[in-house]
Amino acid sequence: MRGRDLVAGERLSSVFVPEVVHTMGSEQTQTVLAAHGLTKEYAPGRAAIAEVTLRFGRGDFVAVIGPSGAGKSTLLRCLNLLIRPTRGRVELLDRDITESSGGRLREVRGQVGMVFQGFNLVRRLSVLENVLAGRLRFARGPVRRFAGVLRLFPRSEREIAFACLEKVGIAEQAFKRADQLSGGQQQRVAIARVLAQEPRVILADEPIASLDPESARGVMRTLRAIHDTKGIPVIVNLHQVDVAREFGSRIVGMNAGRVCVDAAVDRVTAEDVERVYTRGASGTGEPRGDSAEPRLVSTGGAGGADGTGGKTEAVQRVAMAGGGRS
Ligand SMILES: Nc1ncnc2c1ncn2[C@@H]1O[C@H](COP(=O)(O)OP(=O)(O)OP(=O)(O)O)[C@@H](O)[C@H]1O
Ligand SMILES: [Mg+2]
């Protein structure tokens, strides 16, 4: 099936229009997803995230950085209600969704798309079938229950799935089994599946952590292009500060469960980055046994630094990586 065969059809237009939305002023800043005083205690009195308040608008491509255990995954999982916050609330399009359950919870999970480090594809199914899984939330009645099992997706749905694969650049792989693809290709399938959900916001938890640098950049470019053309917020947990600087429009730094940096990418200084990766920098939270050092910066920017005496080598590498958007 060729791309030009796919441009007609009502459902298709619902996926790809509004596309190239050059949103103006207030629309850009309109809050799509918000956390208010979000706190998660896996064990009583030990907050994995504490009092996190953040707003995400359509203009945001947010890179969340922070040392291992800072609470990045916990934040994303609370935002799409994979786990319930202990206190605080989550709002989607100005509606409090914190207590959603049943059909409303499924609807929320559909609107808040999630991409994981491990792709979470059904390995023995085809690429196309994996993407069609993203369409199940639009099915009704028995189709909803059996379409996935019996592979009963109407042509219009298959066209949408194809279009999503084209969007991430791997439509030609549609009939391969998912486990025959490379890691980078599998992550693109996962992104196509999220696109097929027609989400209002996309969350990605270390989507490039298991990819080689070239595939990683390809996946980041894909996420950024989706953000730019569809005008939806994308929030990505990352360990690579240089990648965060290159692709993000905004950086949120977490340390010991608290937000300690939140700024437009070109306003984030080397000192800010150092603070994010300094143990106990937030002045709160439990002391952690594991290292606060970041994983290595993936590309570029590393090297000796002047005027950074007293810092660990890893912190120097991170602090000096990038220096503004290229
Ligand atoms: N299911 C869980 N049960 C208990 N404690 C947990 C659970 N998940 C995470 N934690 C704890 O919550 C804190 C935050 O963990 P989280 O996974 O959110 O950090 P992270 O910033 O995503 O780390 P990483 O960069 O290693 O992925 C850590 O102290 C972690 O040990
Ligand atoms: Mg994590």
Which pLDDT band holds residue 214 (cuts at 50, 70, 90)? very high
Whether the CB of 146 sits within 6 Å of ligand 1: no
Whether the CB of 240 sits within 6 Å of ligand 1: no
Q: Judge contact between 239 and 292, C-beta under 8 A.
A: no
Distance from residue 221's CA to the centre of ligand 2 (Å): 21
Distance from residue 82's CA to the centre of ligand 1 (Å): 14
Q: Is 54 helix (H, G, I), strand (E, B) or coil?
A: strand
Proportion of the chain above pLDDT 90, given as a percent: 67
Neighbours of ion ligand 2 (CB under 5 A): 72-73
Strands lying side by side in the sheet with 95-96: 46-57, 31-43, 87-92, 95-96
Whether the CB of 42 sits within 6 Å of ligand 1: yes
Identify which has the larger pLDDT, 250 or 12.
Answer: 250
Whether the CB of 70 sits within 6 Å of ligand 1: yes
Whether the CB of 71 sits within 6 Å of ligand 1: yes
Q: So what's the pLDDT on residue 153?
A: 77
Identify which has the larger pLDDT, 13 or 65.
Answer: 65
Which atom of ligand 1 is closest in space to residue 67's alpha carbon? 25
Query: Counting Cβ atoms within 10 Å, is residue 295 exposed (0-12), middle (13-18) or buried (19+)?
Result: middle
Q: So what's the pLDDT on residue 146?
A: 56
Long-range CB pairs of 280-289 (<8 Å, 24+ gap) are 280/255, 280/256, 281/255, 281/256, 282/255, 282/256, 282/257, 282/258, 284/50, 284/256, 284/257, 284/258, 285/47, 285/50, 285/255, 285/256, 285/257, 285/258, 286/46, 286/47, 286/256, 288/69, 288/256
Q: So what's the pLDDT on residue 105?
A: 94
Q: So what's the pLDDT on residue 14?
A: 41
- Altogether, the residues listed in the chain come to a count of 326
Is residue 96 within a helix (H) or strand (E), and if so which, with residue range?
strand 95-96
Residue appearing with tokens 């993203």: 134
Farthest-apart Cα atoms in the chain, separation: 66
Identify which has the larger pLDDT, 199 or 309.
Answer: 199
Q: What mean pLDDT do residues 160-179 have?
A: 94
Half-sphere exposure of 103 (CA within 13 A, CB side): 5
For the stretch 203-212, pLDDT in tens is 999 999 999 9
Q: So what's the pLDDT on residue 299?
A: 28
Q: Judge contact between 64 and 252, C-beta under 8 A.
A: yes
Q: So what's the pLDDT on residue 45?
A: 93
Which atom of ligand 1 is closest in space to residue 70's alpha carbon? 21
Distance from residue 128's CA to the centre of ligand 2 (Å): 28
Structure tokens at 204: 């990605």
Which pLDDT band holds residue 28 (cuts at 50, 70, 90)? low
Q: So what's the pLDDT on residue 30?
A: 86
User: 142: cis peptide before it, omega within 30°?
Assistant: no
Structure tokens at 56: 């995400």
Say which DSSP state 126 is in: B
User: Is residue 324 predicted with pLDDT exceeding 50?
Assistant: no
Question: For 19-23, 26-30, 151-155, 222-226, which range has the lowest pLDDT when averaged over its residues?
Answer: 19-23
C-alpha distances in angstroms, 193 versus 166, 205, 211, 243? 12, 15, 19, 23
CB-based contacts of 214: which residues, under 8 Å, 6+ apart? 184
- Percent helix, strand, coil in the chain, to 5, is 40, 20, 40
User: Is residue 50 predicted with pLDDT exceeding 70?
Assistant: yes
Whether the CB of 294 sits within 6 Å of ligand 1: no
For the stretch 126-157, pLDDT in tens is 999 999 988 887 776 655 555 555 566 788 88
Which atom of ligand 1 is closest in space to residue 286's alpha carbon? 29
Which pLDDT band holds residue 289 (cuts at 50, 70, 90)? very low
List the residue whose alpha carbon is closest to atom 16 of ligand 1: 71
Q: Judge contact between 130 and 193, C-beta under 8 A.
A: yes
Structure tokens at 59: 């203009």
How many whole angstroms separate alpha carbon 133 and alpha carbon 127?
10
Structure tokens at 206: 């270390």
Mean pLDDT, the chain, whole residue set: 80
For the stretch 72-94, pLDDT in tens is 999 999 999 999 999 999 999 99
Which atom of ligand 1 is closest in space to residue 71's alpha carbon? 18
Whether the CB of 76 sits within 6 Å of ligand 1: no
Whether the CB of 78 sits within 6 Å of ligand 1: no
Q: So what's the pLDDT on residue 155?
A: 85
**Domain residue spans in the chain?**
19-125+197-320
**Domain 19-125+197-320, second-level architecture:** 3-Layer(aba) Sandwich (3.40)
